[in-house]
Structure 1
Amino acid sequence: MTAELSVDEYRSLLSDALPRAQDADTVQPTLNTLFTPDSHRLALDVDTTVVRGGRGVGKTFWFRSLLDERLRMVAAQEYRIDRLSRLTVAAGYGAALDPDRYPGPASLRTLVESGVEPKDLWTTVLLVVLGQPELLKIRPWKDRVEWVRAHPDDRDRTIADSDRMAQAEGSTRLILFDALEHLHADRREADRLVAGILQLALELRLGTRNIRCKIFIRPDMFDGALLHFPDASKLTTNAASLHWAPANLYGLFFHSLGNQQGQVAARFREVARGWSEPTPSRFLPPSSLRGDEQAQAEAFKAIAGPYMGANFRKGHTYTWLPNHLMDGAEQVSPRSFLNALSEAVEETIARYATHIYAIHHEGIRSGVQSASRIRVREIREDLPWVPVAIEPLEGQQVPIDESSVLELWQEGDLTEALSRQAETLSGGEEGAIRTGPRHPHRYGDLVEELIELGVMRRRKDSRIDLPDVYRIAFSIGRRGGVPKVKA
């Protein structure tokens, strides 16, 4: 039997497999990084139109993977979805600038200001994807939209012909939409643009057999679009969410370790027997490391030790980490998980170099603190009103009575603070996302909205709690919990 890896070998492997930058805008999927958790199979189904997920759960990763034919074929094989191998895929919108295929944020802003209807705009994008010859001769997007409005028969004929052609070929035309938070600086306009995408997607679903949209979207943006296109709720019957159970997170972790280059990764695969190589240089973990929590816990014990301290009373490392990264909806993003582990390794190397395990339990605590800072920074960008609502609780201890939360908001005149923020954002720098709670004047409803977002949760005794992934960076205490981040 192959000898266990040494502490230094594990640390070297972990440092290589857990890069500090886990930004979806800069990380491109590859054969080695493609991981196919069972819980994402429905999201990849061709007929699943809406794929909901918060920051860092894999929306952009799957968007880019589906655009890559080689990665798409691997996903088709591992998920056993034959239709994925018979697709023609194009982007209807994404973070990358591609003005010939779809308008960028600056162009969208101009189009909205000129009064272009979102449904007309996205229909134009669809016809460009389908290769409507007359439309491809036109360069400015405003002129393209006007041509589509003036030629409804050509519009319908292009869609019908493309549908028949795909049927004859035995394939499906799939148009992908991602990065919808970048559609427009004004959140209300962004919601209208999203509603237009959903309207087009529903029309194609009902009117064609072989042309489909797949829309990767944050849950709050989907809810906002419903205000402008209530029929979008019909798409929820075939919607999916990118959920990550703890076993999925650790499966991704071990997959990352086993798909590094070099002898250490090869020895890791030998120690944990059962790895396969269905595609050259792409290694799949054994089912035990992919989804068996007991086997995963044993393997992680060899890396981080069994406990978060001297004994089991401090908690088990395997369960402690995801439990302290969960939001109020019990969701953990893989980005937060991998970032926490990356910070844990760096902290261990810097402060606990002689520790008997590759990761020290105090490093894991530091990793959770780092993940909290990152998550709060993300929510400041995505939903800037949330920190305004949480900051009055700074210095408090949770769980806390809901009445105490409402009193703190009343004392700090939260409604006025939210109003000031909205005014600041409306005249702020280009690209800021203007948004606010649905009911800024009704504090009870505001609590419910924060619970829906996973920022708060209500305990069985009705007290309000904040999960550690938010609580720590917001400087809110918990008796015996992970320490707050020091300023």
Structure 2
Amino acid sequence: MSYPVSEIQEALWQVTDSIPISAEYEAPTLATFFTPPSHIRALRLHTPLVVGARGVGKTFWAQALQKEDVRSLLGQAAPDLRGIHVTIGHGAIPCEEYPSPSTFASLLPGHDAASIWRAVLLKACVSAAGLEPGADMPHSGAEWKTLVPWVADNPERVDRIFLDADRAFARQGMSLLIVFDALDRVASSWKDIDELTTGLLRTALQFSTFSHIKTKIFLREDHCSRISFSFPDASKLLASKVELSWTRAELYGMLWKRLCNGEGASGQCLRGLFAEHLPGSLEERDGAWFFKNTGELTDNVLKLLFHCLTGPYMGKDRRRGMPYTWTVGHLADARQQTSPRSFMAAIARACQDSHDKKYAGMNYPIHYESIKSGVQIASQIRVAEMQEDNRWATELLKELRGMNVPCPFQSVQDRWQEAYAEGPSALVRMHPSHTPPEFESAGWAEVRRQLESLGFCLTLSDGRFNMPDLYRVGFGLGRKGGVKPLS
């Protein structure tokens, strides 16, 4: 390398220190967004349903689609995103474009969920198309308790307004995309969440007949699996569903996009290091650096780049594995999926740890012990995130602290039974809002199945219970020769 280890180490610390590793929402910018080739189909105008686990980028993409400068770049790979208007139909940040959870709660008992969403869509279409729907319709600033009943009582009139809006967009040579995200936050119980989500999916299916009004719904994986999809033509939605995931090369490509866009001398140093392996592959546009050809970012190239930072081994020799594969592998859940948020959290921690500790005899900017520290921190963050969505699951897994895995499932079941003498039904009473209602009459085997579907654990071929490091470390379980949990 033409750059001193200390200089690269300082640059890495400066760039990764600014990454909000534990924040769920980060506004997309030209310098931060990286589009995996596998995500392009999910972002296209005619893809109505996008599903992904927590941390894979659903909210990031929902926000990116609303930003004109980012959308313009996305349009290079997805031409149907050019010349469109994007508005939000529901999101993580409260705004007047859709009801708040308390407003949903007040509307739901007396109104069909589909009518509520039709009111949201009506407001978006009237505003974007610049229509004047008539004096009898509540004005755009009317409260939802006024607009929703009017929509429910005037179905033909509402359909006519939607048709007029679609024709208006056609005359203007544009399309309207209405984005829905964070639907697990529309209500406080799964019963209401599922009812509202099903109502939205039914409504979105009806809107698929319009040529210039489109909807895009981002759903969490476990949320989607709860929906029955038993309404007419639901198979059409499922057939067009796109699942978000990240390959190993895509994760490292995202990392180098962030590193190459570092500010000042730090960014210059890391761009120089990148150029040593891929000369002439970066270009600057609008104050940000981009890859000219993401197809060049193969595993072979990215492995060499990363090992310039870490060295080739996770120890003194090859027996401990290679950092390039080890890092992603130890951040994967039980379904072998690694989220970009967990990955970036681990890398940021590793850079900080190496910068602060200055391990003796370091020949590379990132020490392999720092990468292990990064996995520990990423695991803690992941456990805290999942606790927000699945408290019943995290409370159960906390009971296993101190155990070693793999282990017989009977040992796990004994721990759970000791903590919850009444069995899984106790979880329903303790956490009624988000615990699967089927636990009321289920056994521990069904609980294990639900945990496996969420990626918390897996069953080995010999029947033993196992847990990936992403969760094992955070929940305080041990593994022979594995990364140690933080005390």
Normalized against structure 2, the TM-score is what?
Answer: 0.91
Spell out, residue by residue over 1:167-219, the C-alpha distance to the aligned partner (whole angstroms, 9 max, x if none).
Answer: 334432211001112111122111111111111111111x3222211111101
In the alignment, which residue of structure 2 is the partner of 1:218? 220
Is 277-286 or 299-308 further displaced after alignment? 277-286
Q: 2:385 aligns with which of 374, 378, 391?
A: 378
- Please say if residues 49 and 239 of structure 1, whose CA atoms lie closer than 8 Å, have aligned partners that are also in contact: yes
For residues 175-186 of structure 1, what are the structure 2 equivalents within 5 Å?
A: 175-186=178-189
CA distance in structure 1 between the partners assigned to 2:171 and 2:195 by the alignment: 35
Q: Alpha-carbon deviations, 1:273-298, whole Å to 9, x = none?
A: 23332632222236579631111111
More deviation, 28-37/181-190: 181-190
Inter-partner Cα distance in structure 1 for 2:140 and 2:301: 59
Distance verdict in 2 for CA 1:420–1:438, change over 3 Å: closer
The one-letter code matched in structure 1 to 2:54 is: R
CA contact (8 A) 1:128 1:135 kept: no
1:445 counterpart residue number: 446
Q: 1:226–1:232: 8 Å Cα contact kept in structure 2?
A: no
State the match for 2:174 in structure 1.
Answer: 171
Unaligned ranges ≥5, structure 1: 427-432
Q: 2:4 maps to which residue? A: 6
Structure-to-structure mapping, 1:408-423, within 5 angstroms: 408-413=415-420, 416=423, 418-423=424-429
CA distance in 1, matches of 2:6, 2:42: 39
Identity of aligned residues (%): 34
What do you get for the CA RMSD once the two structures are aligned? 2.3
What CA deviation, in whole Å up to 9, does each residue of 1:5-47 have, x standing for no partner?
2222222322233235235555211011111111111111211
1:276 aligns with 2:282: yes
- Counterparts in 2 of 1:255-266, with a 5 A limit? 255-266=257-268
Give the C-alpha shift of residue 409 in structure 1.
Answer: 3.4
In the TM superposition, 1:225-244 aligns within 5 A as 225-226=227-228, 232-244=234-246
* 1:437 to partner: Cα distance: 6.2
Aligned residues of 1:138 and 1:144 also touching (Cα < 8 A): no
User: How far apart, in 2, do the equivalents of 1:452 and 1:438 lie?
Assistant: 15
Task: State yes or no: 1:388 paired with 2:359.
Answer: no
**How far apart are residue 109 of structure 1 and its match?**
2.2
Question: Using a 3 Å threshold, how does the CA distance of structure 1 residues 138 and 69 change in structure 2: closer, same or farther?
Answer: closer
Please state whether the residue corresponding to 2:65 is helix, strand or coil. Answer: helix
Q: Which whole-Å CA distance do the structure 2 matches of 1:324 and 1:460 have between them? A: 20
How many residue pairs align between the two structures? 472
Q: Aligned partners of 1:228 and 1:124: how far apart in 2?
A: 23
Name 1:21's counterpart in structure 2.
Answer: 20
| Map of 2:250 onto structure 1 | 248
Output the CA distance in 2 between the equivalents of 1:282 and 1:143. Answer: 46
Alignment correspondent of 1:429: none
1:308-457 correspondence to structure 2 within 5 Å: 308-354=314-360, 355-413=362-420, 416=423, 418-425=424-431, 434-436=434-436, 438-439=438-439, 441-457=442-458
Q: Relative to 1, partners in 2 of residues 1:150 and 1:122: Cα closer, same or farther, differing over 3 Å?
A: same
Distance 1:177 1:199, change over 3 A: same
- C-alpha change, 1:370 and 1:290, in structure 2 (3 Å) is farther
Deviation at residue 460 of structure 1 after TM alignment: 3.1
Aligned to 1:115: 110
Equivalent residue, structure 2, for 1:59: 58
2:25 aligned with 1:39, yes or no? no
- TM-score norm. by structure 1 comes to 0.91
Cα deviation for residue 241 of structure 1 reads: 1.4
- Structure-2 separation of matches of 1:138 and 1:411: 55
Query: Is the 8 Å Cα contact of residues 427 and 439 (structure 2) preserved in structure 1?
Result: no
Q: Kindly indicate whether the alpha-carbon contact (under 8 Å) linking 1:250 and 1:290 is maintained by their aligned counterparts in 2.
A: no
- Cα distance in 1 between the residues matched to 2:152 and 2:331: 49
* Runs of 4 or more above 6 Å deviation: none
Are residues 1:70 and 2:69 paired? yes
* Preserved contact between residue 51 and residue 242 of structure 2 (Cα < 8 Å): yes
Letter in 1 for 2:313: Y
After superposition, the C-alpha distances for 1:304-360 in whole angstroms (9 at most, x for unaligned) are 111111001011111110000000111111111011011111211222355222111
Distance between the aligned counterparts of 1:215 and 1:288, measured in 2? 27
What is the CA distance between 1:162 and its match in structure 2? 1.7
Amino acid at match of 1:394: R
Look up the match of 2:83: 86
Which residue type is aligned with residue 90 of structure 2? Y
